[in-house]
Amino acid sequence: MENLAAAEQSVERLSIDDSIEYLKANHSQAIKLDDRDGYEGVIVDSDMLVDIARVIRDELGFDYLSSATAVDYLGEGDHMEMVYHAYRSSGGGALVFKAQTDREAAEIPSLVSVWRGADFQEREAWDLYGIRFPGHPNLTRILMWEGFEGHPMRKDWREAYYEEEQKPFDSRWPGGHVHRAEEKNVFGKNVSYPPDIDLNRLMDTSEEAVYQSLGLGVDIERIMDKDGFETNELVVNMGPHHPSTHGVFRMLLTVDGETVTSLEPVMGYLHRNHEKIGERNTYLHNIPFTDRLDYISSMGNNHGYVLAVEQLMSLGRKYNPPTYRCEALRVMMVELSRIVNHLWAIGFWLNDIGAFFTPVLYFIQERERILDFFEAVAGSRMMCNYMRFGGLFGDLPERIKSVSNLTNDRVRDYNTMQFLTEMINERIPRTIDELEVLLTQNEILIERSMGVGILSAEDALNFSAAGPLLRGSGVAYDIRRADPYSIYPELDFDVAVEEEGDMYARYRVRVTELRESVRILKQILPRLESTQGESIWADGKPGAYAPRVPHGESYGRVENGKGELGYYIVSAGGRGGSSNPWRYHVRAPSFINLTPLGHMSKGHKVADIVGILGSIDIVLGETDR
C-alpha cells in the first residue's frame, strides 16, 4: 500500500518528457508523439481524450488546465485541432496534448467533466471554429450572437472587409494608394448576408437563445418557498450597460426574493476580433493590438506576446536573447503596471461594494504619475506599445515631465532616475500604507466582504482560475515563481496567498502583491543604475521590421495583474519561417476567471454579486477580445 502511494507520488513528480513516456507506455494505442517541426507534446486519439485527460490530471498530477484552444490547419494538413496546455499547481512546464478532427464534421469530446475551466473555452471554440463538443452542458455561442452566419475564425471564412490573407496588403505597400474598405463592399458597410436572406421574415433570435440557456425561458417561474407560500422566481438582467459590470459585460440572474439562485454570464459585447485580425497582421503589427487587450496594464500584455514570439524565434539560427538592461526595464514596466492594475482593481471593487469613487480618486493620483512616466518613456499614457522582439522601443529618457500634485501644480521637470527612486521608495509605499490604514481593518469592508463569494482551492484549480482569484483561494501559484521567465528567478519576492477564498482574501492578496511589487522595483533600481549605457538591443541595433519566425508553436505566459496571460502562437511558414502568425490565440485571464462566477454567486444577495464580480477583477477588452 505504501509502495503504491510512493509510486503514485513519484509519477506525480515525473518531468514532462518522462510524463510523455509514461503516457506512451501505458496508453500506446491512444497516444502519438507530435513530431511536426517545432511542435511539442502528444496527439491524443479523440475517442480516448477524456480518459487520457483523467490520467493526465489524476495520475500525472497536471491538475491545472491553463489553455484550451482550436487551430484550423486548412491547407496545412486540412484538419482541426484542439490544443490543451496542462500544468501542475506545484510548478513546472506544460504538458501539451492535442486532439485532431475532421474539418467538415468537427467533433471532439468535451473535457468539462475533467476540468470545468474548459467550459467557456470550448464554447469559444464552437463559436469561432464550429467544433462540436459532445458532453458539454451548454454548447452555445459565447462571443457572437446566436443566429450569426458561420464560424468566423475558420481560415476559409472571410469578413466583409476582407482584402487579402495577410498584411502588408499589396494595395498599401509598396505601391500604396488610399482606399476605404467600404468602397469594396457591396453594401458599403461592414456586413455581408447569405443569399437566401428573407428580409420579410426577419427574426432576432439572439436574446431568446440567451434566456433559453438559463433553462427557464423568459417567463417567470412559480415556486414554493420554504413556508409553503407560492412565490416567483424572477429573471433579472444586469448589463451590458450597468455601472458595476466594469464595461459591457452582462449577467443574467434568476432571483428568489433578493437571493440569487443562478447566474449566467453573457459576453461578447466587446468582441473586436483580436485573433482574426492578429492572423492577418505581421508579428510586429500585433504588439499595439496586445495593448488593447487588458487596457489597464498594457506593458504586461506586451511582455507575454513578446515572450511567446521570442520563444519561437529562439528555434531559429539568428537569435540573440535580450540584454540584461532590457530585461530589467521590462520587469520594471510590468511591475509598475501591476501596481496600476491592483490600485485600479481595489478602487473599483470598493465602488461596487458601496464606497463610491472616493478611494479611486486617491489611487488615481499614483496612477497618473506612473502614466506620466510611461508617456515619457513610450510616448503614450495607456497604450504603450513599448516592447519589441529582442528589445524595447527605447531606453529611459534623461528627464521627464510630471507633476508632484495632481491639482494646482505646474508641470515640473524631473531627472528620470530621481523621479523613479522617489516614486518607488516613498510615494507608492505611502499610498499603500494609506490604503491599508483606511481599509484593511475597516469594519464595513470586513462585514461586506468576509465569507462572500467563496471559491475553494480545489474548485479554483478545477475552474482554471488565475491570478489573485486563484491565490486568494489558497493555491500559491504565481507564474513568476512556478514557471519563471525573464529575470524573476534572481529577484527576491514572496508569492501572496490567502487561504479563505472569499472577497476579502482576494483584497488581501492584491494588497500584498502591491507591496511585493514595490519590493521587486526596489531591487530593479540598482540594476538599472549599474547597466546604465548598456544597449537595450541584443546586437546593438533594433530588430528587423518584419522578422521571419521559424516554423513551430509556442505558448508564452506571464503573470499579469489579472492572472495568467498566455499567448499561443503557431508559425506555419515553409522552411524560412513566416512573417505572419498562422494562429494567434490569447488565453485571457479575465475571460476564464469568469467561469466560476455563477458557482461563486449562488445563494448570495444581488448586492453582493457586483462585489464578487469586482473582486475577480475583469477587463472587457480581454474578456471578449
Q: Residue 295 Cβ, how far from other proteins at the closest point, in Å?
A: 4
Q: Residue 269 Cβ, how far from other proteins at the closest point, in Å?
A: 4
Which residue is associated with the grid cell 494562429? 583
The cell numbers describing 227, all together, are 413556508
Q: Residue 332 Cβ, how far from other proteins at the closest point, in Å?
A: 22
Q: Residue 372 Cβ, how far from other proteins at the closest point, in Å?
A: 10
Residues shown for the chain: 625
Give CA–CA dist 288/458, Å, rounded: 37
Cβ closest to other proteins, residue 152 vs residue 467 = 152
Q: Which residues bind other proteins (CB under 8 A)?
A: 143-145, 147-150, 152, 157-163, 181-182, 184-187, 189-197, 199, 202-204, 206, 240-243, 247-248, 268-273, 276-277, 280, 288-289, 292, 295-296, 360-361, 364-365, 368, 381-383, 406-407, 620-621
With beta carbons less than 8 A apart as the criterion, state whether 556 and 253 touch: no
At 234, give phi and psi (nearest 5°): -105, 150
Cβ closest to other proteins, residue 275 vs residue 608 = 275
Residues near 98 by beta carbon (within 8 Å), at least 6 away in sequence:
34, 41, 42, 43, 44, 81, 82, 83, 84
Cβ closest to other proteins, residue 51 vs residue 368 = 368
Q: Residue 380 Cβ, how far from other proteins at the closest point, in Å?
A: 9
Cβ closest to other proteins, residue 577 vs residue 581 = 581
Q: Residue 483 Cβ, how far from other proteins at the closest point, in Å?
A: 29
Q: Residue 393 Cβ, how far from other proteins at the closest point, in Å?
A: 16
At 492, give phi and psi (nearest 5°): -100, 110
Q: Is the dihedral of CA 434, 520, 479, 143 positive or negative?
A: positive
Cβ closest to other proteins, residue 145 vs residue 324 = 145
Q: Residue 480 Cβ, how far from other proteins at the closest point, in Å?
A: 25
With beta carbons less than 8 A apart as the criterion, state whether 603 and 259 touch: yes
Name the helix (H) or strand (E) containing 430.
helix 428-439
Cβ closest to other proteins, residue 496 vs residue 586 = 586
**Burial of residue 288 (number of CB atoms within 10 Å: 0-12, 13-18, 19+):** middle
> CA triplet 479, 390, 483: central angle to 5 degrees?
15
Q: Residue 572 Cβ, how far from other proteins at the closest point, in Å?
A: 21
Q: Residue 288 Cβ, how far from other proteins at the closest point, in Å?
A: 7
Cβ closest to other proteins, residue 135 vs residue 162 = 162
Q: How many CB atoms lie within 10 A of CB 534?
A: 14
Cβ closest to other proteins, residue 344 vs residue 419 = 344
Cβ closest to other proteins, residue 294 vs residue 478 = 294
Cβ closest to other proteins, residue 157 vs residue 319 = 157
Give CA–CA dist 601/594, Å, rounded: 11
**Short-list 347, 321, 345, 332, CA closest to 299:** 332
CA distances from 37 to 319, 398, 551 (A): 18, 45, 7
Give CA–CA dist 348/352, Å, rounded: 6
Q: Which residues of 546-562 are buried (b: 16+ CB within 10 A; e: fewer)?
A: ebebbbbbbbbbbbbbb
Give CA–CA dist 272/258, Å, rounded: 35
Could you give the 3-state DSSP secondary structure of residue 330?
A: helix
Q: Residue 527 Cβ, how far from other proteins at the closest point, in Å?
A: 30
